[in-house]
Amino acid sequence: MVGAGAGADRMLLFYCRVGFEADCVAELSAAAAMAGAHGRWEYRTGEALVLWWPAAGGGRRREWTPDFGELVFSRQMLTQARLLEVPAPLERLPAIVAAIRQMGRRFCVVWLEAPDADAARQLLAGARGLIESLREALGTAGVTSGRGPRLHVCLLDRHRIVLGTSEPGNSSPWPMGIPRLRYPAGAPSRSGLKLLEALMLFIGEDDLPGRMRAGRVAIDLGASPGGWSQVLAARGVRVVAVDNGPIAPEVMATQLVEHRREDAFRFRPELPVDWMVCDVVAAPARIAALVAQWVARRWCRETIFNLKLPGKDRWREVQRCHDVIERVLVRADGDHVLRFKHLYHDRDEVTGHLRRL
């Protein structure tokens, strides 16, 4: 795939989930148009990455760089990226080191990566020994110093590598944009990993203890079998699990979960709560209207929710849900923060976070 834009000195590289390349491009194209940036996109379905080649002589003094925190379908963003072709595997290490030294910068860390697609993952697994040799060589060359941006070495295939950088304040904090989370012991389903990742991404480890702790109260809409309720209870939060389906005995055994066999769309809290989480399978716009109602009517202060997306025009559907929420909240008092992200643990859905300020 890479190579058609070789006339450009630098490019941007975005990782995404396999099968979502077109959605990633649709979103990024809208962002580029809004910023007045000109260039072209390059991708193939199934390769889990997208490239942006800026137009030659575009008249911009600085390279266009989106706000990563606002992107939905991009897992990671590499800036100042350049293609390196290595004819033979034995020449790979010296060629990479030489190319990095020519960049004339120092980096806080080096990450060896590959797009999250089958062939690239196999290539990365076979190159694990390269990273230690690379770190040693870069340390000797004085390239890694504990300061500066991150350096990414992305293996595309056996002969092509992309070198790029990321700024800690405008990128994912995880290699390849993939958090490594432990499956909770005794969890009734894997869905709890989605909530764990969402909390890390939207809230962060520094703020989470103050916003989700013992004494807080949460409503879990569509709770069965209890994966999200278990994550909340593990932090000492009292949970009302709302679902006509069963809640796993190990979740109820926490003694912090109360099960209400009621319809998620008709349930109303007796008093305002701190959190509402929602993993209900329903039309995305219907979920968007539901969570907007909870925040606008001050039934909760903060909510994390999933939108089950259609098979096509997924970026357009996210925009539609965003507009549904904003139309409701524009009539409510106070400000709010709304974000969406296609998490690593999501599949055909995106996760949203809405908070009343």
Spatial distance between the Cα atoms of 100 and 143, rounded to a whole number of angstroms: 8
pLDDT, residue 300, reads 97
Q: What are the beta bridge partners of residue 166?
A: 150
- Which of the residues 194, 308, 312, 341 is marked catalytic? 308
pLDDT, residue 4, reads 43
* pLDDT above 70 as % of the chain: 96
CATH architecture of 192-356: 3-Layer(aba) Sandwich (3.40)
Spatial distance between the Cα atoms of 16 and 22, rounded to a whole number of angstroms: 10
Q: What is the pLDDT of residues 146-197, one digit of tens each?
A: 788 999 999 999 889 999 999 999 999 999 999 999 877 778 888 999 999 9
- pLDDT tens, per residue, the chain with 357 residues: 655 444 446 899 999 999 999 999 999 999 999 999 999 999 999 999 999 999 876 555 567 999 999 999 999 999 999 999 987 776 789 999 999 999 989 999 999 999 999 999 999 998 888 999 999 999 888 898 878 899 999 999 988 999 999 999 999 999 999 999 987 777 888 899 999 999 999 999 899 999 999 999 999 999 999 999 999 999 999 999 999 999 999 999 999 999 999 999 999 999 999 999 999 999 999 999 999 999 999 999 999 999 999 999 999 999 999 999 999 999 888 899 999 999 999 999 999 999 999
Residue with tokens 């990414």: 152
Does the pTM exceed 0.75? Answer: yes
Q: Which of these, 138, 62, 29, 151, lies nearest to 93 by C-alpha position?
A: 138
What mean pLDDT value characterizes the chain? Answer: 92
Phi, psi of 187 (to 5 degrees): -70, 140
Q: What are the beta bridge partners of residue 42?
A: 51
pLDDT, residue 235, reads 94
Phi, psi of 356 (to 5 degrees): -85, 130
CA atoms within 13 A on the CB side of 341: 25
Helix, strand or coil for residue 14? strand
The dihedral of CA 26, 32, 33, 38: what is its sign?
A: negative
11-177: CATH number:
3.30.2130.30
Q: Within 10 A of 182 (CB to CB), how many other CB atoms are there?
A: 8
Which sequence spans correspond to the domains of the chain?
11-177, 192-356
Q: Which of these, 281, 90, 159, lies nearest to 290 by C-alpha position?
A: 281
Cβ 71 vs Cβ 27: under 8 Å:
yes
Catalytic-residue membership of 308? yes
**Which amino acid, one-letter code, is at 27?**
E
Alpha helical stretches, state H, 112-270: 118-125, 128-140, 192-198, 208-211, 227-233, 249-252
